[in-house]
Structure 1
């Protein structure tokens, strides 16, 4: 978790968590059966200074899908989840509401 500040000298007060996680076997199939998904890749490629170590660490040739329904966290859309069908990997980006 770190500031989302795009290499600026003064960090942003917002705190962001970003990374990859592996789903348990069968979890992605369960999610896709219960929620609507669309093919959608992340808009950026880990452009923030704290995300740069993640560049190139994800699955090879991912087939990203996303459910906007799963991005809702009760306070808006401060969470973004992309799922790779090939590797059962989820890429996440979440704004920490507690700063």
Structure 2
């Protein structure tokens, strides 16, 4: 039990240092425009990389999964409420799976 607590403490300290050091070292410095634009797109790229495979393999039929993903994308681009996007795409995929 003591080893586990020591490991948890060590990992906590290392994680804290890795997050705190950049803040301390770059305090008051403004990043370049390139870095700012790069950092703005990282969450979207990561989200797309995580979601796209899940969309493709979410149903037994890849065609209905892709159509559901496209439908959800269209709703998101129209700035529809996220609850409507989720339930709308689930409904579209469900109906398509009944026919395909």
Query: Which of the five TM-score ranges fits, normalised by the shorter chain?
Result: under 0.3
Comparing both structures, which one devotes a greater share of its residues to strand? Answer: 1
Higher RCO (CA 8 Å, separation ≥ 6 residues): 1
What TM-score, normalized to structure 2? 0.24
What TM-score, normalized to structure 1? 0.25
Give the greater-gyration-radius structure (CA): 2
